[in-house]
Amino acid sequence: MKSAPFKYYVPSEIDEALELLYQLGDEAKILAGGQSLVPMLNYRLLSPANLLDINRVSELKRYSLTDEGLKIGAGVRQREIELSPEIELAFPVLHQALTNVAHVQIRNRGTICGSLAHADSAAELPSVMVALGAQMVIRSGVGDRAVKAEEFFKFHLTSDLEPAEILTEVHVPKLPAKTVGAFEEVTRRKGDFALVGAALLGQWDANGQIQNCRIVCSGVAPVPLRLRFAEDIVNGTDLSDQVLVNVQQSVMDSLDPTEDIHTSSHYRKIVTGVVVRRGLSRLVDQRGAANGSR
Amino acid sequence: MAVDESRADPVEDKSWISVTINGSKQDYLVEQRLSLADFIRNQVGLKGTHLGCEHGSCGACTVIIDDRAVRSCLMFAVQSDGSSIETVEGLAIDGVLSPLQESFQANHALQCGFCTSGFLMSLVARLREGPIDTESEAREALSGNICRCTGYSGMVAAILEQSNSIQGIKENS
C-alpha cells in the first residue's frame, strides 16, 4: 500500500506546469487534492513516472462569484466552495451536492476540478456540473479551449482531457431568476459514492408550472446521464403527485443502469426512480419561495 | 525546475521540507513518495497516528494540517512543506489529558483504541468550528471515521458532554 517511486515536480506558475506537462506527456499525472489519485497510487493501480503537483500554483487557487457566474480554479478545495455563504445562496444545488461528497476530511483536500477531471461516473460533482451547464476551461502548451460539461465526460474515469492538457478552471453560468434546484442521492453508507444521485434544476412560471427542468443522474451510466425523456414529461406541468408517479414509472421502465459489485441493475433502476421523484418533490417544496421575493 | 533549487538534495528522489509538528518546527529530508502518515510515524517517530486502510476510507490516520482535518495517508510528506501539523500527541499537555480525551475515557468511547486518535483529531478540528449540540450533529461529525469494535454511542455521549461543558464555560464567563 505504498506508491511506486515517481519523479516529483512542483511548479509555481501555470506556464511552467504546462511546459512540464508538454515535455512529460502521458508519462505524468497531475496531483491536485489527491483524494482519488493517491488511493490509486497506493494500490498501484497507477504508477506514473512523474507527478506534477499543482498545489503551489497560486493562480489556480482562486475562485470568483460575479454577475456572470462562478469561476473555480483547479487548486480550489471542495470545502472552500462548500463553506462560502454567497455560493450557497447563488448555487444551492452545488452546495447540497458538495455536502454529499465523501467526508469533510476528504473535502478539506479534494478539489472541485480534480473530481471533474477524475470523471468518476458515480461522483456528485460531474452530474451537478452537467445540470448547471458548466464550461470546462482547458489549457495546454499549444492553446486554450472550453468544453461544455455535457461533452466533457466520455466514459467512467475518462474525460475529454488530452495528456498535455490541464483542466484549469470550471465556469458555472449564473442561474436564471427563480431557478429552484435539488440534489438527492442514495448511498449504502454515509460518504460513499452514491448508488444513484440526481441533480435537478428548473423554474416555476407564473402559472405554477415547472419549465426548463434538468434532471441529471450519477451512478446509472458511464457518464452523467441527462434524463431528457423525464424532463419532457415534467416540463409544463405542476408536478402533481400523479406526474411524479408517472415520471418514477417512466424512469424505471426506460433505464438499463450499470450493474456492479454494489448493486444489481434492477435495484439501481428502482432507486433511480425514487431518487428522481424525491428530487422533484423538493422542487415542489420550493414553489412558493420561487414565486416570492427571489 | 523540478524542486526548489536551494532545497534540492543530491539524492534526486528526496526533498527538504520544513514543518511545524505539534508546535515545534524542524527540517526533514523526505523521500518524495513517502506518505505523510508514514513520515509522521517512522521519520518523526510519533506512533499515535495509526494506519488502517491506507486509501482514505477509514480515517484512522486523520491529522490536522493548518486547522483542517485531513487523511495523512492521502498526502505525501513533501506536500506538507511549510505547514503546521497537529497529531494526537499534541492533545495532552504534560501527561494531562485534554477535556475531549477525558470525556472519551469517562464515556467508554474506546475499547481497543486503534481508531481513537483519528476520531480525536477529526473532532478537535470540528469543535474548533463550533459546538455540537445534537446527537445528529455528533454522528455527522463522526461520519468520516470508522470504528469496528466499540461502536459510536460512547463517542456521541463524549462529544455532547464536551460541547455542553464548553458552552457552560462560555455562559459562566
pLDDT tens per residue, range B109-150? 999 999 999 999 999 999 999 999 999 999 999 999 999 999
Which of B30, B35, B74, B81 is the mutation pick for testing A, counting most A CBs within 10 A? B74
Q: Cβ(A204)–Cβ(A290) under 8 Å?
A: yes
Query: Hey, where are the domains in chain B?
Result: 5-90, 99-172
Chain B: closest CA distance from residue A151 (Å): 30
B90 compared with B165, residue with greater pLDDT: B90
Domain with CATH 3.30.465.10 in chain A: 62-173
The pLDDT assigned to B9 comes to 45
With helix as H, strand as E and coil as C, how does A186-211 read? ECCCCCCCCCEEEEEEEEECCCCCEE
- Confidence label for B12 from pLDDT (cuts 50, 70 and 90): confident
Q: Is the ipTM of this complex over 0.90?
A: yes
Q: Is B17 an 8 Å CB contact of chain A? A: no
Task: List the B24-31 sheet strands across, edge first.
Answer: B24-31, B14-21, B84-86, B62-65, B68-71
Does B73 sit within 8 Å of A109, measured CB to CB? no
Name the DSSP class of A111: B
**Between vectors from CA A157 to CA A103 and to CA A228, what angle results, nearest 5°?**
90
Name the DSSP class of B72: G
Chain B residues in contact with A79 by the CB 8 A cut-off are: 68
Report the relative pairing of strands B14-21 and B84-86 from DSSP bridges: parallel
Q: Which long-range contacts (CB under 8 A, 24 or more apart) does B127-131 make?
A: B127/B100, B127/B159, B127/B162, B127/B163, B127/B166, B128/B67, B131/B163, B131/B166, B131/B167
Nearest chain B residue (CA) to A5: B33
Task: Give the C-alpha separation, B166 to B160, whole Å.
Answer: 10
The pLDDT assigned to B173 comes to 53
Q: Cβ(B142)–Cβ(B109) under 8 Å?
A: no
pLDDT in tens, A218-232: 999 999 999 999 999
Nearest chain A residue (CA) to B2: A9
Q: How many CB atoms lie within 10 A of CB A84?
A: 17
Beta bridge partners of A52: A9, A30
The pLDDT assigned to B50 comes to 98
Domain with CATH 3.30.43.10 in chain A: 7-53
Task: Give the C-alpha separation, A265 to A239, whole Å.
Answer: 27
The pLDDT assigned to A294 comes to 41
Average pLDDT over residues B11-29: 94
Chain B: closest CA distance from residue A124 (Å): 17
Nearest chain B residue (CA) to A1: B54
Task: Give the C-alpha separation, A7 to B2, whole Å.
Answer: 8
Cell numbers found for residue A185:
442521492
- In the chain, the amino acid numbered B169 is I
Chain B residues in contact with A7 by the CB 8 A cut-off are: 2, 12-13, 32
Q: How many CB atoms lie within 10 A of CB B16?
A: 16
pLDDT in tens, B79-88: 999 999 999 9
Does B75 sit within 8 Å of A109, measured CB to CB? yes
Beta bridge partners of A180: A202
Chain B: closest CA distance from residue A4 (Å): 7
Does B56 sit within 8 Å of A35, measured CB to CB? yes
- B89 has pLDDT over 80: yes
The shares of helix, strand and coil residues in chain A, as percent rounded to the nearest 5, are 40, 25, 35
Closest by alpha carbon to A131, among A220, A244, A74, A214? A214
Q: Which CATH superfamily is domain B99-172 in?
A: [2Fe-2S]-binding domain (1.10.150.120)
Does A3 sit within 8 Å of B71, measured CB to CB? no
> Which regions of A114-175 does DSSP assign to beta strands (E)?
135-140, 143-148, 153-155, 158-159, 166-173
The pLDDT assigned to A191 comes to 87
The pLDDT assigned to B22 comes to 98
The pLDDT assigned to A16 comes to 96
Q: Cβ(A294)–Cβ(A287) under 8 Å?
A: no
Task: List the A135-140 sheet strands across, edge first.
Answer: A63-65, A69-73, A166-173, A135-140, A143-148
Task: Give the C-alpha separation, A125 to A262, whole Å.
Answer: 20
The pLDDT assigned to B10 comes to 45
Q: Cβ(A52)–Cβ(A31) under 8 Å?
A: yes
Alpha-carbon Rg for chain B in angstroms: 18
- In the chain, the amino acid numbered A99 is T
Task: Give the C-alpha separation, A114 to A3, whole Å.
Answer: 19
The pLDDT assigned to B169 comes to 62
- CATH classification code of B5-90: 3.10.20.30
Per-residue pLDDT of chain A (294 residues; tens, 9 = 90+): 799 999 999 999 999 999 999 999 889 999 999 999 999 999 999 999 999 999 999 999 999 999 999 999 999 999 999 999 999 999 999 999 999 999 999 999 999 999 999 999 999 999 999 999 999 999 998 889 999 999 999 999 999 999 999 999 999 999 999 999 999 999 998 888 899 999 999 999 999 999 999 999 999 999 999 999 999 999 999 999 999 999 999 999 999 998 998 999 999 999 999 999 999 999 999 998 766 544
pTM of the shown model = 0.94
Q: Which burial class, exposed, middle or buried, applies to B98 when counting CB atoms under 10 A from its CB (0-12, 13-18, 19+)?
A: middle
Written out in words, the top-level CATH class of the domain with range A179-290 is: alpha beta
Average pLDDT over residues B141-162: 96
Q: Which long-range contacts (CB under 8 A, 24 or more apart) does B25-30 make?
A: B28/B77, B30/B77, B30/B78
- B75 has pLDDT over 70: yes
- In the chain, the amino acid numbered A209 is Q
Alpha helices in chain B (DSSP H): 36-38, 99-106, 116-129, 135-142, 153-172
In this structure, what are the phi and psi dihedrals at residue A53, rounded to the nearest 5 degrees?
A: -85, 115
- B167 has pLDDT over 90: no
- CATH classification code of A7-53: 3.30.43.10
- CATH classification code of A62-173: 3.30.465.10
Handedness of CA A152, A94, A82, A124 (dihedral sign): negative
